Amino acid sequence: MQSGAEPVCEQTPLPKPSRHDPVSKAWRPNYSYALLAVLTLICLLPFSGRAFHVDDTLFLWAGQHIAQHPLDPYRFDVVWDLTRLPMSEVTKNPPLASYYAALVASAAGWSELALHLAFLIPALAVILGTYHLARQFTESPLIAAAATLLTPAFLVSSITVMCDTMMLAFWVWAIIFWTKGLATSRPHYFVVSSLLISASALTKYFGVALIPLLIVYSLVRRSRVRVWAAYLLIPVLVLVAYQFWTKGLYGQGLLLNVASFSASQRSLAGQTSVLGNALVGLSFLGGCMLPAIFLAPVLWPWKRVLVGAALGLAAGVSVALGWVHLGNSIQTDHIRLELHRHWMIVGAQLAVYIAAGLSVLALAVSDYLKRRDDASLLLGLWVCGTFIFAAFLNWTINARSILPLIPAAGILLARRLEISNGRLRNASILALVACGCVSLWITQADSAWANSARRAAAILHERTQKEKGTIWFQGHWGFQYYMESYGARPVDFANSVLSPGDMLIIPENNIETLKFPSELIASSELLEIDLHQHVSTMRWSMGAGFYSSFWGPLPFATGRVPTERYFLFRIGKPVGPGSWRYQQ
């Protein structure tokens, strides 16, 4: 990062930069870096002790195995789906984030606090990198970085120990060094960028998309292929080596295996509806990029706002009433029935998010049509390419797949604000503050849900620790991590046999939960945990599916959140393979 007042872009032929942020003519870039770092820590530090959550468990298991077998990250079995499988078949992410967790834990242990604090570093790198990159493309880089930070997609993803924020950190800085290389023709910038591209792809496979993105951008900047193209062979060779390495270890190359998995999951989920996926994708795009909602009156003339609202309303009602076939976007007919039952509430929220999603795509298109420069091309391809992947190519639509485009959307938003006057810029700052409050509210709700699973595991352990039989449980995510820490055993539906006197615990709001005939139950109990909140990131009854649209078409939903329920069954007769049937 630069420490002086002169912006990076004055050394390059990129679009004319700002010599100051819009806050004050005396404001120096160093002040912005410090302000953004403090603001990021203020937003994220309160959640540093939260429970491990959702897919955190997979990354923790891999990290714990790596600590013992650093050259063989996935040679162990897990019960994560319906039966026990090798980790190499279950996980669909490369291991770099787990290596990072193992490194941190070797010094600080495997506590929630230690790991969450460590994963604040990638979050800081994303925000500071966004500001650094935005200085090349906009006169309001501070607004671009703030618009990236104050989104549900970034805040919620950054309080996990998963790979998403780390991948994005490598992604942003890879682009920064690549643009420096194109501007100066200095080889070391290209080398650093190529290594960062490799790290991004080995953190999450979507990082591979950087290669075609930078090829197109470079061709536009330089008109034809030059020596820069050779440096992109570095990440290609790294990924080829990774493919052969994992094939030698596990009998299949894990990089190419992900593509076939995604295709098979879309096939199993049902006939794909292009329109349905597009609308759900727009819903996630608009909800995850929340500033697009709060800043709509500033970004667009009122006539366009009203047109977008009308389109969003029509689309939202069509989805909620089932007029649009959602295909693989929604998990079961039972969930679709629930959405139809609450179509007014779900439809209203869908209308807002879809309209905001249209606004984000319109930012990319209008910026290119207005400026037609290499920056607008880079940002437009970044946003639109990520959206296409998230909505149509990934195995499910989720906020984690939308996250990579958030910095580009923030920069586009700032570029759009450049055409407004000072009064509107002041209004935009107030809108970002309001957006940040809502995003933090959503982040707190997700954290409360995570903590409720840890609390439930502790209560259930206390209730069952004197039982003579085996304690079994269904469900996964963070709940599984804590239940196993207390010695409970996950049900392997293909092999486990439950005996009379055993206890079985089934969470209601979880995955891979099956039920069995009531005549096999001797007695039952119910544990309920009231979250006392009015927004949720994952409740199929509310249509909220932040981590997977299989739960619903909304990234988050407002309304009275039902209690988290856990059913305790004492087994009266033997329960074995063949006794189970789907609960959801």
pLDDT tens digits along 408-419:
999 999 999 887
Structurally, how many domains does the chain consist of?
1
Residue 272 confidence (pLDDT) above 70? no
pTM (two decimals) = 0.92
Q: What is the pLDDT of residue 209?
A: 97
> What is the C-alpha to C-alpha distance for residues 404 and 382, in angstroms, rounded to an integer?
8
Query: Which structure tokens are listed for 351?
Result: 């209308």
Whole-number Å distance between alpha carbons of 513 and 252: 29
The answer to whether position 299 is within a domain reads: no
* Residue 507 forms part of a structural domain: yes
pLDDT at residue 463 in the model:
95
How high is the mean pLDDT of the chain?
89
Predicted confidence band of residue 265 (pLDDT cuts 50, 70, 90)? low
Rg (CA), the chain: 24
Residue 4, pLDDT > 50, answer: no
Q: What is the pLDDT of residues 357-406, one digit of tens each?
A: 999 999 999 999 999 999 999 999 999 999 999 999 898 899 999 999 99
Residue 184 belongs to a domain: no
**Pairwise CA distance, residues 306 & 33, whole Å:** 37
Q: What is the dihedral of CA 319, 512, 158, 539, to 10 degrees?
A: 40
Looking at residue 11, its pLDDT comes to 38
Do 546 and 536 contact (CB within 8 A), yes or no?
A: no
Q: C-alpha angle with apex 298: 292 to 300, nearest 5 degrees? A: 80
541: in domain: yes
Residue 270 has pLDDT above 90, yes or no: no
Nearest to 299 by CA among 363, 393, 210: 363
How many residues are listed for the chain in this entry?
584
Q: What average pLDDT does this structure show over 526-534?
A: 95
Q: Which band of pLDDT confidence, cut at 50, 70 and 90, is reported for residue 24?
A: very low
Residue 330 pLDDT > 60, yes or no? no
Q: What is the pLDDT of residue 334?
A: 57
What is the pLDDT, as a whole number, of residue 326?
67
Domain of 472 in residue numbering reads as 445-582
User: Is pLDDT at 127 greater than 60 in this prediction?
Assistant: yes
Decide the pairing of beta strands 471-473 and 503-507.
parallel
pLDDT tens digit string along 422-480? Answer: 557 678 889 999 999 999 999 999 999 999 999 999 999 999 999 999 999 999 999 99
In a domain, 416, yes or no: no
578 lies in some domain = yes
Neighbouring CB atoms inside 10 A of 574's CB total: 12
Question: Looking at the domain assignment, is residue 532 inside a domain?
Answer: yes
Coil, strand or helix at 133: helix
Q: Quick check: is 349 in a domain?
A: no
Mean pLDDT for 493-504 is 94
515 band by pLDDT with thresholds 50, 70 and 90: confident
As to burial, measured by CB atoms within 10 angstroms (0-12 exposed, 13-18 middle, 19+ buried), residue 142 is buried
